[in-house]
Amino acid sequence: MDAGTLPTTRPAIETPYIRVTFPVQGHYLPADHGYLLYAAITKCVPSLHGVSWLGTELISGLPQSQGLLALPAHGGEVRLRIPADKLAYVLPLAGTYLNLDGSTLRLGLPVAHPVVPAPSLYARIVTIKKFTEPESFLVAAQRQLAQLDITGSLELPQDGRSRHRRILTIHGRKVVGFSLAAHGLSEDGSIRLQTVGLGGRRAMGCGLFNPIRRAT
């Protein structure tokens, strides 16, 4: 099975997943940093290399020139999505320095959070192998959602940015993905989607969904 596909049967979730957040200190990092972050994490903790359960979210920042992101002075985080019984495996990252193509980030002490349901979720990038056009990608993503026995609708958010087409660089190779939103989810479906995700490359920031926060 390649990294962009899911099994045709509903996968069993034996252990609840959690979100582990490490406060991060630094100034800048590459905007295209999914693979770089994974490589830096696994260099610090080699036992995490190649594990199937690791999800690594992209780091939020303010876009700058020359393909960089500026980290906020306070509140920046590295977020991992892992099974609760694997927490001990990521604790050695506390206090480490990560080098992302010359940008240095220092991780603080982690905090674990439960995955909570929400009717609408958003993923910054989802990649599905061989699907690089918006229409065919959306059909493939909806098919994967059905394979997970999750009822809901998917959409490609639009704000004038080419329907949120995203590019991930892995070993110099460009991989095309899209931002994706899911709506109308049940509590069970929402937890399952946040746990299993869609597409591949979860360790590099892809296919990871989070609740959409509505303005109040």
| Largest Cα–Cα separation, the chain | 45
Write the single-letter amino acid at 85. D
- 3-state SS class at 62: strand
pLDDT, position 161: 52
Q: Are the C-beta atoms of residues 151 and 184 closer than 8 Å to each other?
A: yes
- Measured at the CA of 90, the angle between CA 84 and CA 95, to 5 degrees, comes to 135
Say which residues have a Cβ less than 8 Å from residue 188's Cβ, sequence separation at least 6: 117
pLDDT, position 215: 53
pLDDT, position 108: 97
Could you say which residues of the chain have pLDDT below 50? 1-9, 216
Instruction: List alpha helices for the chain, DSSP H.
Output: 34-44, 87-90, 134-147, 187-196
Say which residues have a Cβ less than 8 Å from residue 46's Cβ, sequence separation at least 6: none
Can you tell me the distance from the alpha carbon of 188 to that of 82, in angstroms, rounded to the nearest whole number? Answer: 18
* Residue with token string 């690594």: 56
Q: Are the C-beta atoms of residues 137 and 131 closer than 8 Å to each other?
A: yes
Q: Which domains does the chain have, with CATH numbers?
A: 17-114 (3.30.70.1890), 121-211 (3.30.70)
Report how far apart, in Å, the C-alpha atoms of 204 and of each of 30, 80, 113, 119, 155 are: 14, 10, 20, 25, 22
Write the single-letter amino acid at 205. G
* Threshold 0.85, pTM exceeds: yes
Can you tell me the distance from the alpha carbon of 26 to that of 28, in angstroms, rounded to the nearest whole number? Answer: 6
pLDDT in tens, 96-151: 999 999 999 999 999 999 999 999 999 999 999 999 999 999 999 999 999 999 99
Write the single-letter amino acid at 14. E
Q: Are the C-beta atoms of residues 59 and 29 closer than 8 Å to each other?
A: yes
* Residue with token string 């393909």: 67
Can you tell me the distance from the alpha carbon of 197 to that of 89, in angstroms, rounded to the nearest whole number? Answer: 21
C-beta neighbour count of 95 within 10 angstroms: 11
pLDDT, position 4: 44
pLDDT, position 163: 59
C-beta neighbour count of 83 within 10 angstroms: 16
